[in-house]
Amino acid sequence: MTAPAAPTAPRILFGGTFDPVHRAHISCARAVSRALGGAVVDLMPNAVPPHRPQPVASPEQRLDMLALAVAGHASLRVDPRELQRDGPSWTIDTLEALQREEPRRPRILVMGADSFAGFDNWHRWQDYARLCHLLVLPRPGADAPSARVQALFRETGADNLLASAAGNRLMLTAPVLDVSATAVREALARKGSCPAVSDPVLAYIRRHGLYNIGSGIQPGR
């Protein structure tokens, strides 16, 4: 008699610009892993379409900083696939590619509440519910999502997230961390450091002179 197939571990994708990766990204990704029984979470830097303002750091630098930030966190990985693809990189294309590669493996897309609030601006947003589950992190100051965004995914608890192939939504309530990459970049320029960035990432930023680091420090003050 053959043993029943083990349930397939979900593919958990936490996309973002990560310009730079900061402590809230890492704390949130670890909280997601814990909420899902220690599952591996892939941090996936996005390629920004050419018509939008480009990140300050290059794709390689964003990847390097992510690699430094996840080092030592066994449940976190970096997935470079969207930076390696030619042409515009839409998350929906990534999910469709993963579905072709691993049709039986459930996918969970992770995002902050601010991204969720603007979800109906995403390219082909209505197609997501047949391709993945959603896990939303709390974020201070985030707007409430519209009724049509809320209705797209069924809200469930952690135990039921994977009860169907796709289309469920888990709203985490912690951690609530008031950190943004925009504020990090401003602090780095103004003060030359920022506690929301880990030491190895800060050393990398200094080595590469990113984010106008220290340009706002007044001599002799």
Footprint of ligand ATP (CB under 6 A): 16-19, 24-25, 28, 111-112, 114-115, 137, 139, 177, 179-182
Nearer to ligand ATP, 140 or 157 (CB): 140
Nearer to ligand ATP, 60 or 101 (CB): 60
Composition of the chain by helix, strand, coil, percent to 5: 40, 15, 45
Q: Is 69 helix (H, G, I), strand (E, B) or coil?
A: helix
Output the smallest distance, CB 163 to ligand ATP, in A. 24
Nearer to ligand ATP, 108 or 179 (CB): 179
DSSP string, 120-158: GGSTTGGGGGGT-EEEEE--TTPPPPPHHHHHHSEE--G
Nearer to ligand ATP, 19 or 79 (CB): 19
Cα torsion 211, 213, 215, 216: sign? positive
Output the smallest distance, CB 71 to ligand ATP, in A. 19
Output the smallest distance, CB 52 to ligand ATP, in A. 12
Output the smallest distance, CB 134 to ligand ATP, in A. 11
Interatomic CA distance for residues 107 and 10, integer angstroms: 5
Nearer to ligand ATP, 118 or 214 (CB): 118
How many CB atoms within 10 Å of residue 168?
Answer: 22
Interatomic CA distance for residues 119 and 149, integer angstroms: 7
Output the smallest distance, CB 128 to ligand ATP, in A. 14
30 closest CA partner among 72, 75, 77: 75
